[in-house]
Structure 1
């Protein structure tokens, strides 16, 4: 069985120092973790997720009919692409560097990738972008193109600087995809949701109809419910202050070791080492980074921001010649 490249645990288990994922390293959020642990797994959730939809809608100040629930961001990406194909979509626009599932879903449904967003039926945006953590430079022209646009906001809650490149009026015209498990430090709980554009309630209903029964289990419902509470949001705001300091320290470490880091507004950074890395050697000492070749950025590694103890372990390993090829 082959799987798409991804960070996190592998055949060797959970890395002791896992820089390869972008989860909030201050987590898990205590209130969200408690909600997940107390979830009633003995019973099915409400198949319509009525209370959850209303909670998320209130959190974002939108109509509940605009909330589309999904098993994960990747599940939504696949379902949305399938819906577009059913509606006659044939061409897709993607950022130059992007999460691989956008292209994977497009290829599965035989979409042609185009470079001019005005020719696209479907377009994907991500801010802060993955893997770079920056503003998408073509976002405004993509929104104005007339395509169905999905803005992946997985890392918006973990933004450490800057601001979204789209104004509120533009945001109301696009689909907004949210995956709070990263911000809550609970990536093992799969669950996501999208907010449909203002005048796309019928389209949101069509996407709901394409979903399997109960796309969210009890634990995902608990996580998303907790995410929308003031307690979790206050914890998140405080965690960002810590992450900013950890990021400053991590960038200083990489610079001292001769790495060239690219700009990033998020809780991760892409950087090029002074010479090629031996990833298996790093993994053998409990450290995992994310090779960005699958994103379209060879020669670089994405590193999530981790606490000083993890940074010290990384520094020690990188100073040893055996982790370089």
Structure 2
């Protein structure tokens, strides 16, 4: 279900929000200042000329390979529609994956197949969601003949390991970037994709399919700040802090009897030792992410938060699970 998501809900913004993968060190000061100083009185350049040049220079690619998008989810929907328009009928995604891949496929009546070789559209994500690990089938999938998209939403928040695809392979797949999580600005929607070297025709099609001004002034400001040196230095420092917090959070969970799965990102999945009283936790301002909709029932995905939040979670779980203890 695409409607299931981390972050704020009908009860507002959780005080202790473990349900989102946003950078808990954020918001990034440079990016926040840029967004606050954006000019909302005027339309951005409809071609996003300067932004596309800046993004291309940051990644070391030609500007013609850049496609801007209202968000990662908007791009997922748009490229799915584009594949269908060119005769695509089938799609593949990992067993554990972001729900919008399936949502877009269902909206356009694409059939999910188990064999990547039979798919017209294929999805990868590294670090993956919900696990935060490398995709075991990445190399095999990237070599297929269909349209392959690598979702890199969590690459800027990788705390260990490295992408399993080398530079030569990356030039053969679409790379989808959505930096708002890394910058701690998830409320600002804006993303972009880098077309493969042989994907320029599809890039042009996707640009023609976009609505007018898919990015507003605030998204342009965020993405412009994203490639600046000050922002990248802040991000590197935040990864050091997140790694320390993650070590403590994993130790806290394991000490309380949780079974933690491996992760290379700023989040991890774990199974609680006892059933959780989700309503009671939410009433205390604590929100977790049930990973059932991501293909992993019986587990929770927890974003890495500071030690104070970890202690609140630990105490609350102990209190709210007393009545379920044998």
TM-score, shorter chain, exceeding 0.5: yes
Cα deviations across residues 195-234 of structure 1 (Å, max 9, x unaligned)? 0001221211110000000000000000000000001000
Residue aligned with 2:84, SS: helix
Distance 2:26 2:96 in 1: 28
Distance 2:303 2:149 in 1: 24
Measured on the aligned residues, the alpha-carbon RMSD in Å equals 1.1
Q: 1:180, 1:224 within 8 Å by CA — same for their partners in 2? A: yes
Alignment of 1:28-43 (within 5 A): 28-43=27-42
Shift of 1:299: 0.5
Alignment of 1:202-241 (within 5 A): 202-241=201-240
Unaligned runs of 5+ residues in structure 2 are none
Distance 2:268 2:171 in 1: 29
Distance 1:307 1:324 in 2: 28
Q: Which residue of 2 aligns with 1:126?
A: 125
- The answer to whether structure 1 residue 136 and structure 2 residue 135 are counterparts is yes
Alignment of 1:25-174 (within 5 A): 25-174=24-173
Shift of 1:321: 3.7
Q: 1:323 to 1:92 in 2, by over 3 A?
A: farther
Q: 1:261 to 1:85 in 2, by over 3 A?
A: same
Q: Which residue of 1 aligns with 2:263?
A: 264
Q: Which residue of 2 aligns with 1:280?
A: 279
Q: 1:205 to 1:324 in 2, by over 3 A?
A: farther
Shift of 1:145: 1.6
Shift of 1:276: 1.4
Q: 1:92, 1:112 within 8 Å by CA — same for their partners in 2? A: yes
Q: 2:277, 2:320 within 8 Å by CA — same for their partners in 1? A: no
Cα deviations across residues 1-31 of structure 1 (Å, max 9, x unaligned)? x961000001110000000000000000000
Alignment of 1:287-302 (within 5 A): 287-302=286-301
Q: 2:149, 2:175 within 8 Å by CA — same for their partners in 1? A: yes
Cα deviations across residues 57-103 of structure 1 (Å, max 9, x unaligned)? 00001000000000000000000000000000001011010000000
Distance 2:322 2:278 in 1: 7
Q: 2:2, 2:100 within 8 Å by CA — same for their partners in 1? A: no
Q: 1:97, 1:296 within 8 Å by CA — same for their partners in 2? A: yes
Distance 1:323 1:220 in 2: 46
Distance 2:2 2:101 in 1: 15
Unaligned runs of 5+ residues in structure 1 are none
Q: 1:267 to 1:324 in 2, by over 3 A?
A: farther
Q: Which residue of 2 aligns with 1:308?
A: 307
Normalised by the length of structure 1, the TM-score is: 0.98
Residue aligned with 2:197, SS: coil
Distance 1:279 1:59 in 2: 42
Residue aligned with 1:320, SS: helix
Shift of 1:322: 4.4
Q: Which residue of 1 aligns with 2:254?
A: 255
Normalised by the length of structure 2, the TM-score is: 0.98
Distance 1:122 1:312 in 2: 43
Cα deviations across residues 128-172 of structure 1 (Å, max 9, x unaligned)? 000000000001111112111000000000000001011111000
Distance 1:321 1:27 in 2: 30
Q: How many residues align?
A: 324
Residue aligned with 2:124, SS: strand
Q: 1:36 to 1:323 in 2, by over 3 A?
A: farther
Runs of 4+ in 1 over 4 A off after TM superposition: 322-325
Q: 1:278, 1:323 within 8 Å by CA — same for their partners in 2? A: no
